């Protein structure tokens, strides 16, 4: 006899608590093998395919494409056993590389919305509210499979005064409850009026700008001006917004900058690449300069432990670099950059850049950086004031390298000039240290032989 096992959204690591379903890779009734990818999800850090630890027949899927699910919410159920080919009830335990799976939880009794009419659903909701069981009832409804034998009942926006609220994510309900927001007053922007986290956050943001919110004061979303477009801050875009806001809020940053003559650096790179072997990228040479500078100025390879009121200086350099993708800005991390030569750095930058472009970076490749290198010169701009990548202490920005008039050896000449900028956490060091770091970087750019003395 087949046994039905429930596969829940696994903990994808690095403190992530939710993910959005981008694309289902299987249908109800499909036979799946152990560790076969079944769904593609987007977290705040990356888009990944999630493999199922069980082999058998898919009996239900939970959540439509575009739905955000919290970690631990059911993704699908699989029938394993005699009537399910390739069944392995114990599972593989390998949902994602580096992540484990939880043991299948005991299945709960579910009530399918398809078997209940609207009046009966509303009655159940009212009785549950009256007896203090509303939360349990809503959770049960949120677990209903979207691919049931008959289509589930839907509530279209705007939500009625009574009856089930079109919300799937428990996080959305909790966010509204904690802020005294009545979800029945909202019109969701999701499919069929589904209320998303972005809808609640938008209402709360607008409400706070207009005045304090109270639990007894219903808040209604402001209307979008004619011709306007609402773009939810979620996924990678939302994560970037949260991180940049936190950086500006918590880090007292300062920026210094200097122009440097990069002519000799460009000549050195051309000579290296003309000698044969793998080509060396400019970004790799700049990274090599950064790691040498951090060895001299370790204050900038650190972070602030706010609770302990300590600056923690690190003995390794995990170098992040800004990469613009179709999904938004991401910062892949080159592990142990201080121990790599220019050839190894070039190869790793290329690998991570391609993974960023295709959306296959893992959470582990997007976290843990200790210093960030931002080459915004690729966008054709000369300068910028970078925002520190929290909780790091500094970021080096590099503008475009262009021919400019320059005084070289006492004569006016056309040289390849670049602007370098350093934004740093003023809690970890003062301007003298930051200026010394930036000046050393500029010296290495102008005279690459300076770097050789540190190798």
Residues labelled catalytic: 426, 430
CA 154 to chain centre: 31
Check if the beta carbon of residue 44 is closer than 8 Å to that of residue 236: yes
Q: Are strands 68-70 and 333-334 parallel, antiparallel or unpaired?
A: unpaired
Residues 399/369, Cβ–Cβ less than 8 Å: no
Q: What are phi and psi of 299, to 5 degrees?
A: -60, -30
Length of the chain as a residue count: 455
- CA–CA distance from 380 to each of 5, 117, 258, 383, 422 (Å)? 54, 60, 18, 10, 19
Number of CB atoms found within 10 A of residue 55's CB: 21
Rounded Cα distance, 292 and 272, in Å: 19
Q: How far apart are CA 389 and CA 321, in angstroms?
A: 10
Phi and psi at 32, nearest 5°, equal -115, 150
CA-wise closest residue to 103 among 143, 41, 54, 145 = 54
Q: Give the span between the Cα atoms of 239 and 392, in whole angstroms.
A: 16
Asked whether the beta carbons of 332 and 366 are under 8 A apart, the reply is: yes
Structure tokens given for 314:
């690190």
Q: Which of 177, 130, 123, 121 is nearest to 154 (CA)?
A: 121
* DSSP H helices in 321-430: 342-358
- Which residues does 274 contact at the CB level (< 8 Å), separation at least 6? none
Is the Cβ–Cβ distance between 321 and 373 less than 8 Å? yes
Q: Rounded to 5 degrees, what are φ and ψ at 177?
A: -65, -40
Tell me which DSSP letter residue 158 carries: S
d(CA 322, CA 345): 15
CA torsion angle 247 248 253 259 (round to 10): 90
Distance, CA of 186 to CA of 208 (rounded, Å): 16
Give exposure, 254-265, as e/b (b: 16+ Cβ within 10 Å): bbbbeebbbbbb
């Amino acid at each position: 006899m087949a046994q039905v096992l429930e596969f829940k959204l696994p903990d994808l690591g690095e403190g992530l608590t939710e993910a959005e379903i981008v694309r289902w890779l299987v249908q109800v009734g499909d036979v799946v093998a152990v560790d076969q990818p079944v769904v593609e999800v987007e977290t705040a850090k990356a888009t990944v395919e999630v493999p199922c630890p069980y082999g058998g027949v898919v009996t239900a899927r939970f959540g439509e494409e575009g739905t955000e699910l919290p970690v631990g919410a059911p993704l699908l159920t699989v029938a394993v056993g005699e009537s399910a080919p390739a069944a392995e009830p114990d599972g593989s335990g390998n949902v994602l590389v580096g992540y484990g799976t939880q043991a299948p939880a005991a299945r709960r009794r579910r009530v399918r919305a398809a078997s209940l009419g609207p009046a009966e659903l509303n009655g159940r909701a009212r009785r549950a509210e009256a007896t203090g069981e509303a939360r349990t009832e809503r959770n049960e409804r949120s677990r209903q499979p979207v691919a049931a034998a008959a289509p589930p009942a839907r509530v279209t926006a705007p939500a009625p005064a009574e009856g089930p609220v079109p919300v799937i994510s428990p996080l959305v309900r909790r966010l509204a409850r904690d802020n005294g927001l009545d979800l029945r007053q909202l019109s969701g922007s999701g499919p069929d009026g589904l209320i998303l986290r972005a809808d609640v956050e938008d209402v709360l943001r607008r409400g706070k700008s207009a005045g304090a919110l109270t639990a007894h004061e219903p808040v209604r979303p402001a209307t979008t001006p004619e011709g306007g477009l609402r773009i939810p801050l979620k996924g990678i875009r939302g994560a970037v917004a949260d991180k940049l806001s936190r950086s500006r809020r918590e880090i007292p940053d300062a920026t210094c900058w200097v122009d440097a003559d990069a002519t000799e650096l460009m000549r050195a790179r051309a000579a290296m690449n003309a000698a044969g072997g793998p080509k060396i990228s400019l970004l790799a040479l700049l990274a090599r300069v950064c790691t040498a500078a951090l060895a001299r100025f370790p204050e900038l390879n650190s972070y602030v432990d706010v609770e302990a009121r300590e600056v923690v200086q690190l003995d390794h350099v995990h170098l992040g670099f800004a990469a613009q993708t179709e999904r938004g800005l991401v910062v892949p991390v080159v592990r142990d950059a201080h121990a790599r030569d220019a050839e190894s750095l070039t190869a790793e930058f290329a690998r991570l850049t391609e993974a960023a472009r295709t959306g296959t970076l893992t959470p582990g490749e997007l976290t843990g950086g200790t210093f960030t290198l931002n080459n915004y010169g690729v966008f054709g701009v000369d300068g910028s004031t970078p925002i520190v990548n929290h909780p790091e202490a500094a970021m080096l920005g590099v503008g475009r390298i262009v021919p400019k008039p320059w005084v070289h050896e006492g004569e006016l000449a056309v040289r390849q000039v670049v602007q370098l900028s350093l934004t740093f956490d003023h809690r970890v060091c003062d301007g003298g240290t930051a200026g010394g770091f930036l000046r050393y970087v500029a010296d290495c750019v102008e005279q690459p032989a300076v770097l050789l003395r540190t190798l």
